[in-house]
Amino acid sequence: MEERSGGPRPAHGFSRRLLQLGRANLERQLAHPTVRGIGDGTLDEERFRAWLVQDYLFLLDYVRLFALAAARAPDAETLGRQSARRQSAAQLGVAPHAGQQRGHDLGEVAGGRGP
């Protein structure tokens, strides 16, 4: 519980408030034809590949961001934290794409560069 001027409030109240504020955007994103097609398996192969390539390239750069932050860390604690984030992003973001490739060679798209 978090203490506020109005008394203790459950911590999840903040999350609910953020969801309320962003609900309209979330609903628009979930209603997007690409998102719906990925979710229900009806997205045509060419569009899926375009999405997969775009997402894969974004995730590679996301992993690099944490690696750069680790390289520039001012102390060992920050270095460890940023290194762990890089590892997590690589495992949870980039690696699952290998199973979703559906025959697409994403390594070739990325010029052979990996996380």
Q: How far apart are CA 79 and CA 85, in angstroms?
A: 10
pLDDT at 1: 43
Indicate whether this model's pTM tops 0.75: no
Q: Single out the residue of 107, 69, 62, 111 nearest to residue 89, CA to CA.
A: 62
**Which positions ≥6 away from 28 have C-beta within 8 Å?**
none
pLDDT exceeds 90 at position 51: no
pLDDT at 93: 77
Amino acid (one-letter) located at 10: P
pLDDT at 52: 84
Higher pLDDT, 56 or 83: 83
Q: How far apart are CA 95 and CA 93, in angstroms?
A: 6
pLDDT tens digit sequence for 1-38: 444 555 555 557 888 899 999 999 999 999 999 999 99
